[in-house]
Homo-oligomer: A and B are copies of this chain.
């Protein structure tokens, strides 16, 4: 869980995830959405991959990134439980 929260703590990485929600995308197209170098985006993609939030697959010259929806759902549940406990109030 720590890796996931660390991964989510950066705005660029959250925006990458938002892009991938719209559909799979190759590294270059992802990078075109940001004002930083492709090398830096590659670094962010690695962190998201280490957290298991995304997956990658080579297709010819390009590498296509996609959401790992399983981990997305698990994280949702985890966060939901975490915050839900707090918002119920305690008797």
Q: How far is the CA of A28 from the CA of B85 in the complex (A)?
A: 23
Chain A contacts with B in 1-58, Cβ cutoff 8 A = 2, 5-6, 8-9, 11, 14, 17-18, 20-23
Identical chains bound together, number: 2
Q: Given contacts A9-B5, A11-B2, are A23 and B84 in contact (CB under 8 A)? A: no
Q: Does A79 contact B (CB under 8 A)?
A: yes
Chain B hits for A22, CB < 8 A: 90
Closest to A23 in B: B90
Q: How far is the CA of A39 from the CA of B69 in the complex (A)?
A: 40
Q: How far is the CA of A86 from the CA of B6 in the complex (A)?
A: 19
Q: How far is the CA of A45 from the CA of B87 in the complex (A)?
A: 19
